[in-house]
Structure 1
Amino acid sequence: MSNSNRALVPEARQGLSKFKNEVAQELGVPFKEYNGELSSRQCGSVGGEMVKRMVEEYEHRI
């Protein structure tokens, strides 16, 4: 059984974690080591904003 949550580029894990924390801080979402008390909406807003910024960055590069 494979782990689908495995990073394709393991070295990117630290950078993505830093990026997630920066976005969460900007959105006012209190991310910590354990985030079980956060709502799905809060977590989704961070993930959505991360994707939006990554797409924008990609579009600026092409």
Structure 2
Amino acid sequence: MSRSNQLIVPQASQALEQLKLEAAQELGVQIPADGYYGNVTSRDAGSLGGYITKKLVQIAEQQLSGGNR
């Protein structure tokens, strides 16, 4: 499977995957073992995306403020 999105920092791939797994666990969404998300409901996929975006914004805000909350 090819992806159209390219990471600016390829080393971030592992961190993003970990964030995805944490989000799924927190929200109770089952991550497909084969990596195919075509059978994940739109609601669950949207929840994951929203959660990940929220966490990334929190991380950026912490870095900009110079603190680790």
Cα distance, 1:4 vs structure 2 = 4.2
Offset of residue 25 of structure 1: 0.9
When the two structures are aligned, how many residues end up with a matched partner? 60
**Aligned equivalent of 2:67:** none
Root mean square deviation, CA, Å:
1.5
Between the two structures, name the one with larger relative contact order (CA 8 Å, sep ≥ 6): 1
Q: 1:4 to 1:35 in 2, by over 3 A?
A: closer
- Offset of 1:40 from its aligned partner? 1.0
Runs of 4+ with >6 A deviation: none
State TM-score, norm by structure 1: 0.82
Q: Percent identity?
A: 43
Q: Structure 1 regions of 5+ residues with no counterpart?
A: none
Instruction: State the TM-score, normalizing by the size of structure 2.
Output: 0.75
